[in-house]
Chain A
């Protein structure tokens, strides 16, 4: 943690967190205390204007419609006041003087001039100074047309330069990482990128070097800007100094078209705009969403669009003949699938058919596939998760918490995978909460993670012993050490009221039973606690909500409580079907004969590679609905090419249960179809009519049949809910009368922070698709609950949603084998995942798999770090490079779950499905 410079207001950092956050917090507090003044009045250019106490002048003026030019100011970062662009005149005891508006908290009665001759001259002067050493190579600069330096020079600056001297020169551009290039000649030293790297991302690998007008941003020698968040520096750079390798010279801003969308690379659901040029997606930009991503994206979410145009992209239906997949027409492919499926159904019934996957789909796609599977085919053996998540009933049935709840928790108990690896922007949110208001974070993890340095307590457990640790934390077992006791006291106070549990699987080398049992204990013993599920893969929450889980129907309904679906769908499966593991086990023994893979790659993603392989080899018909080939493709009989993100419109649901839009900007290549259309056509080939001619039909049926989706009509999705996202079920009414959960300050128009965080939107807007990202509108009164409020069922909310009954019995604690290490296997941000591997910018960043263990384990073996060793586990033997890592406790070893190379050994080669833990033994290889 850095020591903040003395700031006139001790809450300076919190203010930087954004005006909307302030409004939400003060709005919530208003009912309780009402002590602090709600409003102050300042005189702005002779006009009386209301402002929030402690708010920065630059933000207060902006809300009052006065835009004060700026470069270094960014509302999501601590202000530094160094570019001097926002100088305005503020009246003090000795009359008016020039003060930086970004560093001036408003005070009642403050008098401010923003257009006086002195201000104009200062602004002219600063802009002229900024251009002194700027190369003015706008015609060849990617930023030209969306450049704050260009725009503000035109608006506020002098018309001509008086500088006739030689400008400063640097070699250009230099790569600061493999994704970002830096042109130091264009840099105006605003400290945005360097501040982001240090303050927001915690990756301080770029910094100012040199002095005066030879100050440069650069990396340390031989140390690249290796950050999962480096692309954000490109987005917030107010000039063309930082450019993304993936975008350089690809497009001009005025040629870009754009649509607002939601990133589905992981389950966090960051809001973004997708921009295209000449029918090709060229850029993702983060949109400032108060609830989710605060304008940031991770580099995977930012650059993985490259996968859509990868040469390996599926563009035609493929049919295996003579052991090879060959292109065929849709008609041939569909009738082949329908014919073989009919044969299976005729002899073995619907129980012999299974559907795996669906997290890649939109909510509407998932609904159509759920209907196809459960109503047309008649099987309930459908699972969007690959035994690497949590039971769907638990996800839907625990009292929910939002990301904002987690950040504002009294205690956040984090029990899941390393968020920087699996949900990167969640890591930024949690890091910000710790930095800005000292979030009390208690981490339970088998190994050190990115949260370890941020947590007030980071408690270690050996795989298989999570329940023991949770019982210590809940007071039903004596605490193993004082840190546990201290955390326990904070956690159990007040019945867990204000406690948020972030719940996920920290390792897929462990069965889910420990996590489920831990969740059950926490639910029972801390009745006030709420839960944020941390699930793997993009729209997994939406797929579960659409019924792509055994025993469930769309809208978190139990199959047994069929409700309106039983009649409307014309029959439902009689009994709950198999989940992913049971499905693959049944497939391996011939009980399941046809398997649909909805973007699923069991060989890579299922924790037990051996079982997945046996299942895929045994199944007669494997149909893969996919956008890209993957490791399982060699077992696939029919490939149905599907549309990728940005090629179809719809909605997605993030891990907190927030519904938000995914936009279509380009057309799917070749003959690829949206997944819902594939479901409709396949149903037709089977002689059934799903009743959908468009996603709108799906939306209408879903709103009618599934109580969770009550009110989620096409009209609502076209309105503010669709653009802003909303937690389900909808409650409260918005300005247009729609149901919804309304962000503070938003009425008819969007309020977005800092247009410079989304460069070029203003200029694109006039030519591109209508989008309001980045447009700052005067905000009206707050309509309903502030964003981040709890979504407990309101009085008018639909009842009878799913509840989860925790299991009574606790799993046995597996005995420790002193000769073995317990394996921890988790995803890395850059690994063998399909999107990463199909994106040229990212594929090279995936690290080769190495087994990591405590240095003492290497000493015991007598090998040096980097040595190849033999690893024995129940399913077999592997040879892996062993590396020493002091962040891994003794008795534990860590291996990436999905290796970058398809045939390289990953953790799933060592895991036996259903085993509570994975024990491995290390042996040295024979010399020579």
Chain B
């Protein structure tokens, strides 16, 4: 991971990360740590929730649902409710939560306590990807410090509000980042996503009780929002895309890394090309395609470079900002190979519950691999599209699905994007019986 950039204001969640000891309790306290929580505890929980609603903070896990609205879905009159924080970030090229967990664990914990206070949960679970060994170590240490400090536990800061937080390491399955699979996993079961409806765990969640599942970055925004007010957050950005957001920039750029930029006011081109951000495509090459928001999204191409990082704009253009993972492919990239790698990931991570995803992912992977390695047939191109259509009928956006969860419809977009834009490149693979790109460029 490269060093994060904190150059352009405002740095809402990455403000502390310029310090080499940003993860320490001492640094956290010295930089305003737990002040947001103290302020929140002086407010009524509904007022805290109102600030979050006013900020229009969109969930940072991928679906981009308004956080305040999600909280409002909790049924009234049910005293037992849980807060579950999703830190199971495991999609290729997504690495923002990883950084927040490792580099500012106290900010995350502060956000969790604020959220729990706002929704009235007395128990929170922090589910962290098992491979984040350092992050787990730091979060657990931070949690001990927070308990000792009185920021977590019984009667937090003398407010009368109590909260316990349990850190739960995942066991290496991408699917457990799907919120209902995460709940199953927390309950000690196999990580199978639950069938919808209900569409949100707010009504029936962990152990059948009302549950809010929020993302790590979403939580990390809360201390700032409470400290500065929801209006200050909403003043940034444009339309529904308020505030700032971390984009995980990777691929063929000179300065890959996490960048916090103002939403909607920044374009993809700026993010990729600005000297203090991505620094441009490597070796001055041209952009061939880029993934705008995680590998489950359809791809964008050079003509979309000037689109702002606005959730609704990107959605209207047939893709998503999703998890905020942007991967740039320059003109040396074999799109067959690139989309095959993405399909291969989903094949490996399908939970096996629904037939179309379980069997379709492997089928697509095998055909793609065959094309890339020179065994392709011309009819494979239409076959790919039709198999994809049987997983995600219509191949439209937002996608329809024949599966329980969205992992199924996440499989086809990369293949379909590559195939619809660069069909000739697929045909070259088929006709030449090999990948036309030089080995070192793949």
Pairs A-B, 3 closest by C-beta atoms: A125-B390, A215-B352, A6-B204
With beta carbons under 8 angstroms apart, the residue of B173, B197, B358, B361 that contacts A189 is B358
- Using Cβ atoms and an 8 Å threshold, which residues of chain B touch A103? 195
With beta carbons under 8 angstroms apart, the residue of B201, B208, B347, B402 that contacts A122 is B402
Complex interface bits, B112-134 against A, C-beta within 8 A gives 1, otherwise 0: 00000000000000000000000
**8 Å CB contacts to A: which residues of B182-223?**
184, 187, 190, 192, 194-195, 197-198, 201, 203-205, 207-208
B87 at interface by CB-CB < 8 Å: no
- Using Cβ atoms and an 8 Å threshold, which residues of chain A touch B187? 3
With beta carbons under 8 angstroms apart, the residue of A8, A87, A118, A208 that contacts B352 is A208
Give A98's nearest chain B residue, CB to CB.
Answer: B402
Q: Are B351 and A6 in contact (CB under 8 A)?
A: no
- Alpha-carbon distance between A261 and B362 when the two chains are bound, in angstroms: 46
The answer to whether A6 and B208 touch (CB under 8 A), given A84-B403, A132-B362, is yes
For A125, A130, A207, the residue with the greatest tally of chain B CB atoms inside 10 Å of its CB is A125
Give A215's nearest chain B residue, CB to CB.
Answer: B352
Q: Are B359 and A213 in contact (CB under 8 A)?
A: yes
With beta carbons under 8 angstroms apart, the residue of B208, B354, B367, B391 that contacts A3 is B208
The answer to whether A165 and B359 touch (CB under 8 A), given A103-B195, A126-B402, is no
The answer to whether A126 and B370 touch (CB under 8 A), given A5-B194, A132-B363, A212-B349, is no
For A7, A85, A189, A213, the residue with the greatest tally of chain B CB atoms inside 10 Å of its CB is A213
With beta carbons under 8 angstroms apart, the residue of B175, B356, B370, B403 that contacts A165 is B370
With beta carbons under 8 angstroms apart, the residue of B361, B367, B403 that contacts A212 is B361
- Using Cβ atoms and an 8 Å threshold, which residues of chain B touch A83? 354-355
- Using Cβ atoms and an 8 Å threshold, which residues of chain B touch A189? 352-353, 355, 358
**8 Å CB contacts to A: which residues of B336-378?**
347-356, 358-363, 366-367, 370
B393 at interface by CB-CB < 8 Å: yes
Give A130's nearest chain B residue, CB to CB.
Answer: B355
The answer to whether A129 and B393 touch (CB under 8 A), given A83-B355, A211-B352, A213-B352, is no
- Alpha-carbon distance between A98 and B190 when the two chains are bound, in angstroms: 26
**8 Å CB contacts to B: which residues of A117-166?**
118, 121-122, 124-126, 128-130, 132-133, 162-163, 165-166
B232 at interface by CB-CB < 8 Å: no
Complex interface bits, A625-656 against B, C-beta within 8 A gives 1, otherwise 0: 00000000000000000000000000000000
Complex interface bits, A855-876 against B, C-beta within 8 A gives 1, otherwise 0: 0000000000000000000000
Q: Interface size for chain B: under 10, 10 to 19, 20 to 34, or 35 or more residues?
A: 35 or more
With beta carbons under 8 angstroms apart, the residue of A121, A128, A208, A214 that contacts B190 is A208
Looking at the assembled complex, report how far the CB atom of B100 sits from the nearest CB atom of chain A, in whole angstroms.
Answer: 28
Q: Are B359 and A130 in contact (CB under 8 A)?
A: yes
- Using Cβ atoms and an 8 Å threshold, which residues of chain A touch B236? none
Q: Are A212 and B362 in contact (CB under 8 A)?
A: yes
- Using Cβ atoms and an 8 Å threshold, which residues of chain A touch B387? 125, 162
With beta carbons under 8 angstroms apart, the residue of B194, B207, B367, B400 that contacts A98 is B400
Complex interface bits, A101-113 against B, C-beta within 8 A gives 1, otherwise 0: 0010000000000
- Alpha-carbon distance between A87 and B401 when the two chains are bound, in angstroms: 11
A100 at interface by CB-CB < 8 Å: yes
Q: Are B208 and A82 in contact (CB under 8 A)?
A: no
Q: Are A211 and B360 in contact (CB under 8 A)?
A: no
Q: Are B390 and A128 in contact (CB under 8 A)?
A: yes
Looking at the assembled complex, report how far the CB atom of A57 sits from the nearest CB atom of chain B, in whole angstroms.
Answer: 14
**8 Å CB contacts to B: which residues of A179-212?**
188-189, 207-208, 210-212
Q: Are B362 and A3 in contact (CB under 8 A)?
A: no
A97 at interface by CB-CB < 8 Å: yes
Q: Are A133 and B190 in contact (CB under 8 A)?
A: no
Question: A82-B404, A189-B352 known; 11 other A-B pairs, CB under 8 Å?
Answer: A125-B390, A126-B355, A128-B390, A129-B355, A129-B356, A129-B359, A132-B362, A165-B363, A165-B370, A208-B190, A211-B352
- Using Cβ atoms and an 8 Å threshold, which residues of chain B touch A4? 208
The answer to whether A81 and B400 touch (CB under 8 A), given A165-B363, A165-B367, A213-B347, is no
With beta carbons under 8 angstroms apart, the residue of A85, A133, A212 that contacts B350 is A212
Q: Are A213 and B208 in contact (CB under 8 A)?
A: no
- Alpha-carbon distance between A81 and B192 when the two chains are bound, in angstroms: 12
- Alpha-carbon distance between A81 and B180 when the two chains are bound, in angstroms: 15
B166 at interface by CB-CB < 8 Å: no
Looking at the assembled complex, report how far the CB atom of B408 sits from the nearest CB atom of chain A, in whole angstroms.
Answer: 9
The answer to whether A211 and B350 touch (CB under 8 A), given A126-B402, A132-B362, is yes
For A7, A84, A128, the residue with the greatest tally of chain B CB atoms inside 10 Å of its CB is A84
- Alpha-carbon distance between A87 and B366 when the two chains are bound, in angstroms: 26
28 A-B interface contacts by CB (under 8 A): A3-B187, A5-B184, A5-B194, A6-B194, A6-B201, A7-B195, A8-B197, A82-B195, A82-B355, A84-B355, A84-B403, A87-B402, A97-B400, A98-B401, A118-B393, A121-B393, A122-B390, A125-B356, A126-B356, A126-B390, A162-B387, A165-B367, A166-B366, A208-B352, A212-B352, A213-B347, A213-B358, A213-B362
- Alpha-carbon distance between A207 and B190 when the two chains are bound, in angstroms: 10
Looking at the assembled complex, report how far the CB atom of A126 sits from the nearest CB atom of chain B, in whole angstroms.
Answer: 5
Looking at the assembled complex, report how far the CB atom of A782 sits from the nearest CB atom of chain B, in whole angstroms.
Answer: 33
- Alpha-carbon distance between A85 and B402 when the two chains are bound, in angstroms: 10
B383 at interface by CB-CB < 8 Å: yes
**8 Å CB contacts to A: which residues of B137-189?**
173, 175, 184, 187
Looking at the assembled complex, report how far the CB atom of B276 sits from the nearest CB atom of chain A, in whole angstroms.
Answer: 41
- Using Cβ atoms and an 8 Å threshold, which residues of chain A touch B362? 132-133, 168, 212-213
Q: Are A121 and B363 in contact (CB under 8 A)?
A: no
Q: Are A133 and B354 in contact (CB under 8 A)?
A: no
| A-side interface residues, number (CB < 8 Å) | 43
- Using Cβ atoms and an 8 Å threshold, which residues of chain A touch B190? 207-208
- Alpha-carbon distance between A704 and B415 when the two chains are bound, in angstroms: 79
With beta carbons under 8 angstroms apart, the residue of A80, A82, A132 that contacts B359 is A132
Q: Are B194 and A84 in contact (CB under 8 A)?
A: no
- Alpha-carbon distance between A122 and B402 when the two chains are bound, in angstroms: 7
Q: Are B354 and A82 in contact (CB under 8 A)?
A: yes
Q: Are A125 and B350 in contact (CB under 8 A)?
A: no
- Alpha-carbon distance between A100 and B387 when the two chains are bound, in angstroms: 20
- Using Cβ atoms and an 8 Å threshold, which residues of chain B touch A125? 356, 387, 389-391, 402
- Using Cβ atoms and an 8 Å threshold, which residues of chain B touch A6? 194, 198, 201, 203-205, 208
Q: Are B393 and A84 in contact (CB under 8 A)?
A: no
- Using Cβ atoms and an 8 Å threshold, which residues of chain B touch A121? 389-390, 393
- Alpha-carbon distance between A84 and B203 when the two chains are bound, in angstroms: 25
Give B198's nearest chain A residue, CB to CB.
Answer: A6
Q: Are B351 and A212 in contact (CB under 8 A)?
A: yes
- Using Cβ atoms and an 8 Å threshold, which residues of chain B touch A163? 363
- Using Cβ atoms and an 8 Å threshold, which residues of chain A touch B356? 84, 125-126, 129
Q: Are A210 and B352 in contact (CB under 8 A)?
A: yes
- Alpha-carbon distance between A170 and B403 when the two chains are bound, in angstroms: 26
Q: Are A5 and B195 in contact (CB under 8 A)?
A: yes
**8 Å CB contacts to B: which residues of A209-230?**
210-215
- Using Cβ atoms and an 8 Å threshold, which residues of chain B touch A5? 184, 194-195
**8 Å CB contacts to B: which residues of A1-18?**
3-8
Looking at the assembled complex, report how far the CB atom of A834 sits from the nearest CB atom of chain B, in whole angstroms.
Answer: 43
- Alpha-carbon distance between A6 and B211 when the two chains are bound, in angstroms: 12
- Using Cβ atoms and an 8 Å threshold, which residues of chain A touch B370? 165
Give B173's nearest chain A residue, CB to CB.
Answer: A211
Q: Are A213 and B350 in contact (CB under 8 A)?
A: yes
Give A132's nearest chain B residue, CB to CB.
Answer: B359
The answer to whether A162 and B352 touch (CB under 8 A), given A122-B393, A215-B358, is no
Q: Are A162 and B383 in contact (CB under 8 A)?
A: yes
The answer to whether A188 and B355 touch (CB under 8 A), given A98-B393, A103-B195, A165-B366, is yes
Q: Are A129 and B363 in contact (CB under 8 A)?
A: yes
Complex interface bits, B292-333 against A, C-beta within 8 A gives 1, otherwise 0: 000000000000000000000000000000000000000000
- Using Cβ atoms and an 8 Å threshold, which residues of chain A touch B348? 211-212
- Using Cβ atoms and an 8 Å threshold, which residues of chain A touch B393? 98, 118, 121-122
Give A7's nearest chain B residue, CB to CB.
Answer: B195
**8 Å CB contacts to B: which residues of A644-688?**
none
Looking at the assembled complex, report how far the CB atom of B198 sits from the nearest CB atom of chain A, in whole angstroms.
Answer: 5
- Alpha-carbon distance between A359 and B300 when the two chains are bound, in angstroms: 78
